[in-house]
Structure 1
Amino acid sequence: MNAAYKECLEAVLDCLRACNVCFDACLQEEDVKMMAKCIRLDRECADVCALLAQAIMRNSPFTQQIARLCAEICIRCAEECAKHAHDHCQQCAEACRRCAEACQAIQ
Structure 2
Amino acid sequence: MSYEKNRLLIQTLRECVEACNYCFQACLKEENVKMMVECIRLDRECADMCAFLERELTIDSSFAHDLAEICSKICEACGNECQKHEHDHCQKCAESCFKCAKACKDIA
The CA RMSD measured in Å over matched residues stands at 0.8
Q: TM-score, normalised by structure 2?
A: 0.95
TM alignment of 1:1-107, pairs within 5 A: 1-3=3-5, 5-107=6-108
Pairwise CA distance, 1:2: 4.4
- The aligned amino acid for 1:60 is S
Amino acid across the alignment from 1:91 = K
| Structure 1 unaligned spans of 5+ | none
| TM-score w.r.t. length of structure 1 | 0.96
Letter of the structure 1 residue corresponding to residue 19 of structure 2: A
Structure 2, unpaired ranges of 5+: none
Aligned-residue offset at 1:105:
1.0
Amino acid of the structure 2 residue aligned with 1:42:
D
What is the rounded CA distance, in whole Å, between the counterparts of 2:39 and 2:53 in structure 1?
21
